[in-house]
Amino acid sequence: MHEFALVRSLLSQVAQIVEADGGGSVQEIRVRCGPLAGVEPTLMREAFALLRRDSAFVEAELVIREEPLRARCRRCDQTFEPQRFRFRCPHCGSVDTITESGDAVMIESVVVGG
Amino acid sequence: MTSNETRVITIERDVTATARMDAARFRETMTARGTLVVNLLSSPGSGKTTLLAETARFWGDQIRCGVLVGDIATDRDAQRLAPWLPAIQLTTGGACHLSLALVQQGWQQWEELPLDILFIENVGNLVCPSSHDLGEHVRVVLLATTEGDDKPAKYPKAFRTSDGLLITKTDLLPYLPFDVDVAAQDAREIRPDIEVIALSALQGQGLAQWCQFLQEQRRRHVGRRPANESADSTVNR
């Protein structure tokens, strides 16, 4: 249920970026998130629908792309998609692995009209 | 005909990037002060407050601890903790997690207080708090035996982002279908280097191990011995 705070932060960051880029009306905000991002896309969309009313983004659409969880093994250097959040390397069995993607909400891009 | 004026701004940035930088700055400040910051995460009723009271009692005046305690409403926890250690209640007014801003607000009241360890008792919730860096050096998740040993896989982010797992209320094990090894193994599949400690704060088993873990973490992250700690670092009750 922290999607509200997250979307609020997203909107203020986008506002700053667009202003620094010369301004304009935001038509689309594209983000991607994975299974360990700690957000529910449905709740993000609901929060966005409410919050955009009081922002400069009344016209904007939020596009959420879901990405899989990806990890890399530090022993054999192979990447894999952890199943059921098991981070043991399926190639060599090592537990020395790091998350590469799927654990964050990434702001990809913004489409701005003139 | 405005379509030719449409442009795409590529950003590629983690939405929490700024918040993470703020948290890193707070962490550096606390490192420079010699204070280890420990963020405690768990479901409501897993024993965070009892653990903190017993940890402070265990150390007495040997290690100086303070706690910022988060709840949605009431100052009951701060009142409960006050006899044992300095406590400031942070009420979120409905929010499901503590924010760095709220933590810093609370901490401002203490800037002059020398502390070896600052605990942050997060709002009871295994979901949202795991997404928020509060500037802690160490994150510890509590799992009470009453909650069931299947929780790590159900709430992976809380376990993936934690450095320590405390299995609490082990005094109730004789009455519950909870397998400590199953829970520990489950957590280690998600976070292989997680330190697992089983304890009963009420009866004292495991408390010495927990306190030793905190002192090791303090040396690792803050790099100093607590001012009041004797040269021989063995802790006696």
Closest CA to A32 of A109, A105, A101, A110: A105
Is A29 part of a structural domain of the chain? yes
Place of tokens 């279908």: B177
Mean pLDDT value across chain A: 94
Q: What is the mean pLDDT of residues A7-17?
A: 94
pLDDT more than 90, % of chain B: 82
Please check the confidence at residue A13 and state whether its pLDDT lies above 50: yes
Q: Is the pLDDT at B157 greater than 80, yes or no?
A: yes
pLDDT tens by residue, B192-232: 999 999 999 999 999 999 999 999 999 999 986 655 544 44
Residue A33 lies in a domain: yes
Report the chain B residue with the minimal C-alpha distance to residue A33.
B14
Going by DSSP bridges, is the β-strand pair B7-14/A105-113 parallel, antiparallel, or unpaired?
antiparallel
pLDDT score, position B227:
53
* A77 occurs within a structural domain: no
Give the model's pLDDT for residue B16: 93
Cα A44 from Cα B86, distance rounded (Å): 38
Is residue A79 in some structural domain?
no
pLDDT score for B187: 96
Confidence of residue B34 (pLDDT cuts 50, 70, 90): very high
pLDDT tens digits, one per residue of A50-84:
999 877 788 999 999 999 999 999 999 999 999 99
Residues of chain A above pLDDT 90, percent: 86
Q: Measured between CA atoms, how close is B14 to chain A, in angstroms?
A: 4
Quick one: average pLDDT of B151-157? 93
Q: Does A95 reside within a domain?
A: no
Q: What is the CATH number of the domain that holds A56?
A: 3.30.2320.50
* Number of structural domains found in chain A: 1
Q: Given this model, what pLDDT does residue A114 score?
A: 73
Which residues have a Cβ under 8 Å from the Cβ of B156 and sit 6 or more positions away? A36, A85, B190
User: Across chain B, what does the average pLDDT equal?
Assistant: 91
Distance CA A56, CA B130 (A): 30
Q: How far is CA B233 from the centre of its chain?
A: 23
Q: What is the domain range of residue A26? A: 3-68+102-113
Cβ distance B6 to A114 less than 8 Å, yes or no, reads yes
Please give the biggest Cα pair distance in chain B: 79
Residue A7 lies in a domain: yes
Residue B92: predicted pLDDT: 87
Is the pLDDT assigned to residue B96 strictly greater than 90? no
Task: Kindly compute the dihedral angle of the four CA atoms of residues A32, A38, A39, A40, in this order, to the nearest 10 degrees.
Answer: 110
Q: Classify residue A18: in a domain, yes or no.
A: yes
In a mutational test of the A interface, the residue from B2, B6, B9, B21 whose CB has the highest number of chain A CBs within 10 Å is B9
Q: Given B16, B19, B189, which is nearest A86 (Cβ)? A: B189
How many whole angstroms separate alpha carbon B61 and alpha carbon B53?
Answer: 13
Cα B35 versus chain centre, distance: 14
Q: Which domains does chain B have, with CATH numbers?
A: 15-219 (3.40.50.300)
Span B4-17, average pLDDT: 92
Contact call for A96 and B192, based on CB within 8 A: yes
Specify if A75 maps to a domain.
Answer: no
Torsion angle, alpha carbons of A42, A44, A45, A51, to 10: 150
Taking residues A44-55, report their average pLDDT: 91
**B209 Cβ contact list (under 8 Å, min separation 6):** B197, B199
pLDDT at residue A37 tops 80: yes
pLDDT of B1 over the 50 cut: no
The whole-angstrom distance between residue A21's C-alpha and the CA centroid of its chain comes to 21
Task: Using pLDDT thresholds of 50, 70 and 90, give the confidence band for residue B236.
Answer: very low
pLDDT tens-digit readout, B36-66: 999 999 999 999 999 999 999 999 999 999 9
Residue of higher predicted confidence among B138 and A59: B138
Torsions phi, psi for A97 (to 5 deg) = -130, 155
Which one of A2, A21, A107 has the shortest CB-CB distance to B97? A2
Contact A112 B132 (CB under 8 A): no
